[in-house]
């Protein structure tokens, strides 16, 4: 029975001690500790957030770098391709030009040759004509040395004419 | 007088025993169900444990009313 | 191996202390059988002195408020008399100690007369007894311990700077975060901040009281096993709960939602009774748990004396050790439960309506 009977004195002391303890601890212990703990929690949270953000930024930067690298690679490839194309074109152009030049030279040469040939032929012709004339003169001079032969020729010519 | 005292003590003991049986069944059921729940959903272990302890304490509180009645005899 | 050696050593120490007591008792009460019940109850009760051994106890001041004003003297004035044989005279009044309570003897009486039930007939109990009893001393001790430990921990933070805990704060901070989490879980929104200091004080006051009661050789003060103390704590919780209660809490009680109006006649009185049953349950749960632990320990030790053979220590001491370890868990658990339920009750009364 004694165990379950509340005692006035103990209630008084328990209440007094507890309330004083509550105020003292609240002022000198709980407040600074809770502030510190919660502030630290906040700062840790903020730090983690910052780290997350930085990580994301790094990730973005890395991706950007990758993009840049890729672009550069593409650019380089393009440049190489263009250069090779240009060189090919240049070679091609040089080739065609050379050919054209060559053709022109050949044509010129042919033309010169032809004209030389024609001139030679013409000269040869005159030569031949004069030569044959000389021969003919010499032949005719021998043929017409007697009057009989002149008469026979005249007759023959006259015959030919009458026939016409 | 002796017999009276003895029977009084005996009855108090029987009462306390009955209270303990009830509390035993109650806490046993709570523990068993909590174990099943934890086995089914291990990720909720912490939460189940808290609720289990609260429920066990409430059941125990009822049993302790029996103990207090027994103490009233003392 | 070292661990076991330590446990055996503790067991031996317990046994020897108990045996020395047994031999002392055996001489004093040759005839009487050992009364384990009264021994256990007596142990769990409050006392006017701190009983360390049979030959040595620390006297404590007795403070009485009587019709003739304040009376103070040391409890050693009674010379361990607990039967009312010795009368202490102060301020013209006679006081006697009978079964752990102080009685004021009626004026003119020389001796205390007892009736058939062993109750004094010519003396009355002093109601306004503000003596610094064993429990009150323990409360002061707990308060001083708490102040020293937590103010020292608070100093480690240099006035609320967000630094990592060092020294003693490394031990106390997890406890503080633990209680703060209890508050956060049970009180909605930001309101928990207002009640965290109260819950922290409550938790550590109960926890330290529980643990002090488990330390052997210091008279096992049963502070949290005193119904006066638990009642005070429950009433303070109740006052805080009521002072902060919102309309939603009362409308919930007076107009339970989702219940047909006809049932109000039954439900409303039950709900109103529930408001008062909750602190009563808080009171009794803590009181009975801790007292039961103390009584069990004394009962187990009593096995030796009931059977009058030291050989029973082989059974009694290991069982006592087991119960003591269990009580260590209970000490923590009951502090947690009390704090959590207090937070739950406060949380339910400060809740805003959201249905």
Chain B hits for C289, CB-CB cut-off 8 Å, are 60, 64
Give the chain C residue nearest A28 (alpha carbons). Answer: C151
Tell me what pLDDT residue C9 has.
59
Whether the Cβ atoms of residue C35 and residue C25 lie closer than 8 Å to each other = no
Chain C adjacent subunits, 3+ CB pairs under 8 A: A, B
Tell me what pLDDT residue C307 has.
85
Give the tens place of pLDDT for each residue, C38-64. Answer: 778 888 888 888 888 777 888 888 888
Residue C298 bridge partners (DSSP): none
Instruction: Name the percent of chain C lying above pLDDT 70.
Output: 90
Q: Tell me the average pLDDT of chain A.
A: 89
**Chain A interface mutation, best of B8, B65, B67, B71, highest count of A Cβ atoms under 10 Å:** B71
First and final CA of chain A: distance in angstroms?
Answer: 188
Residue among C145, C153, C255, C262 at smallest CA distance from C207: C145
C189: left (phi over 0), alpha (psi -120 to 50) or beta: left
Q: To 10 degrees, what angle do helices C169-186 and A31-143 make? A: 90
**What distance in Å separates the CA atoms of residue C244 and residue C350, rounded to the nearest whole number?**
6
Residue B68 forms contact with C (CB below 8 Å): yes
Q: Is the dihedral of CA C74, C75, C81, C84 positive or negative?
A: positive
Tell me what pLDDT residue A115 has.
92
Which value does ipTM take for this structure?
Answer: 0.85
Distance from CA of A62 to the nearest CA of C (A): 34
Chain A hits for B68, CB-CB cut-off 8 Å, are 4
Residue B21 forms contact with A (CB below 8 Å): no
Cβ <8 Å between B61 and C284: yes
Parts of chain B with a pLDDT under 50? 1
Cβ <8 Å between B71 and C333: no
Give the chain C residue nearest A33 (alpha carbons). Answer: C154
Cβ <8 Å between C333 and B65: no
Cβ <8 Å between C292 and B64: yes
Cβ <8 Å between B74 and C41: yes
Distance from CA of A67 to the nearest CA of B (A): 42
Give the chain C residue nearest B59 (alpha carbons). Answer: C285
**Chain B interface mutation, best of C282, C337, C345, highest count of B Cβ atoms under 10 Å:** C337
Parts of chain C with a pLDDT under 70? 1-31, 159-160, 354-355
**What distance in Å separates the CA atoms of residue C214 and residue C323, rounded to the nearest whole number?**
10
**What distance in Å separates the CA atoms of residue A143 and residue A150, rounded to the nearest whole number?**
8
The structural domains of chain A, with segments of one domain joined by +, span 8-163
Give every CB contact of residue C115 below 8 A, 6+ residues apart in sequence: C121
Cβ <8 Å between C291 and A3: yes
Cβ <8 Å between B64 and C37: no
Chain A hits for B8, CB-CB cut-off 8 Å, are none
pTM exceeds 0.95, yes or no:
no
**What distance in Å separates the CA atoms of residue C268 and residue C277, rounded to the nearest whole number?**
14
B-C contacts (CB, under 8 Å)? 37
Cβ <8 Å between C284 and B64: yes
Tell me what pLDDT residue A66 has.
94
Whether the Cβ atoms of residue C73 and residue C96 lie closer than 8 Å to each other = no
Tell me what pLDDT residue C22 has.
46
Tell me what pLDDT residue C20 has.
47
Rounded average pLDDT over A106-132: 90
Give the chain B residue nearest C38 (alpha carbons). Answer: B74
Residue A164: both structure tokens together: 């016409």
Distance from CA of A51 to the nearest CA of C (A): 19
Q: Tell me the average pLDDT of chain B.
A: 80
The structural domains of chain C, with segments of one domain joined by +, span 48-132, 135-157+166-350
Give the chain C residue nearest B55 (alpha carbons). Answer: C337
Element (H, E) at C301: helix C264-307
Give the chain A residue nearest B72 (alpha carbons). Answer: A1
């Amino acid at each position: 029975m004694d165990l379950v009977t509340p005692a006035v004195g103990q209630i008084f002391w328990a209440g007094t001690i507890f309330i004083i303890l509550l105020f003292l601890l609240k002022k000198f212990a709980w407040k600074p500790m809770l502030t510190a703990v919660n502030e630290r929690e906040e700062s840790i949270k903020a730090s983690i957030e910052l780290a997350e953000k930085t990580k994301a930024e790094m990730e973005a930067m890395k991706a950007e770098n990758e993009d840049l690298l890729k672009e550069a690679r593409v650019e380089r490839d393009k440049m190489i391709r263009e250069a090779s194309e240009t060189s090919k074109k240049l070679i091609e152009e040089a080739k065609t030009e050379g050919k054209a030049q060559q053709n022109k030279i050949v044509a010129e040469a042919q033309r010169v040759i032809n004209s030389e040939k024609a001139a030679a032929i013409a000269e040869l012709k005159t030569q031949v004509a004069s030569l044959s004339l000389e021969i003919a003169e010499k032949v005719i001079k021998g043929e017409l040395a007697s009057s009989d032969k002149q008469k026979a020729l005249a007759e023959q010519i006259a015959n030919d004419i009458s026939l016409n | 007088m002796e017999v009276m005292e003895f029977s009084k003590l005996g009855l108090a003991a029987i009462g306390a025993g009955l209270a303990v049986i009830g509390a035993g069944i109650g806490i046993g059921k709570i523990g068993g169900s909590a174990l099943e729940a934890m086995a089914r959903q291990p990720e909720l272990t912490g939460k189940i444990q808290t609720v289990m302890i609260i429920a066990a304490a409430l059941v125990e509180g009822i049993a302790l009313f029996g103990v207090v009645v027994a103490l009233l005899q003392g | 191996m070292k661990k076991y050696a330590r446990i055996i050593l503790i067991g031996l120490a317990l046994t020897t202390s108990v045996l020395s007591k047994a031999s002392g008792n055996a001489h004093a009460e040759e005839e009487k059988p050992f009364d384990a019940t009264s021994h256990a109850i007596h142990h769990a009760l409050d006392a006017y002195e701190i009983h360390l051994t049979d030959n040595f106890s620390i006297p404590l001041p007795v403070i009485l408020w009587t019709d003739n004003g304040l009376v103070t003297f040391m409890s050693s004035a009674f010379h361990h008399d607990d039967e009312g044989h010795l009368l202490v005279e102060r301020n013209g009044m006679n006081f006697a100690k009978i079964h752990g309570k102080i009685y004021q003897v009626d004026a003119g009486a020389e001796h205390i007369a007892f009736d058939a039930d062993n109750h004094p007939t010519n003396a009355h109990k002093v109601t306004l007894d503000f003596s610094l009893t064993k429990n009150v001393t323990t409360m002061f001790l707990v308060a001083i311990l708490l102040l020293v430990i937590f103010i020292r921990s608070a100093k480690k933070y240099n006035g609320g700077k967000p630094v990592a805990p060092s020294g003693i704060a490394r031990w106390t901070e997890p406890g503080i975060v633990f209680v703060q989490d209890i508050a956060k879980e049970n009180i909605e929104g930001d309101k928990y901040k207002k009640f965290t200091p109260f819950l922290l004080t409550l938790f550590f006051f109960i926890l330290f009281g529980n643990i002090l009661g488990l330390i052997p050789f210091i008279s096992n003060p049963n502070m949290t096993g005193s119904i006066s103390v638990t009642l005070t704590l429950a009433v303070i919780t109740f006052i805080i709960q009521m002072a902060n209660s919102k309309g939603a809490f009362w409308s919930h009680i007076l107009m339970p939602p989702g219940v047909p109006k006809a049932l109000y006649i039954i439900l409303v009185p039950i709900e109103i009774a529930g408001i008062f049953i909750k602190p009563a349950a808080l009171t009794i749960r803590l009181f009975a748990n801790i007292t039961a632990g103390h009584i069990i320990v004394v009962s187990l030790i009593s096995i030796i004396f009931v059977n009058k053979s030291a050989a029973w220590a082989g059974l009694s001491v290991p069982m006592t050790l087991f119960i003591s370890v269990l009580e260590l868990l209970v000490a923590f658990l009951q502090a947690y439960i009390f704090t959590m339920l207090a937070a739950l009750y406060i949380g339910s009364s400060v809740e805003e309506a959201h249905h």
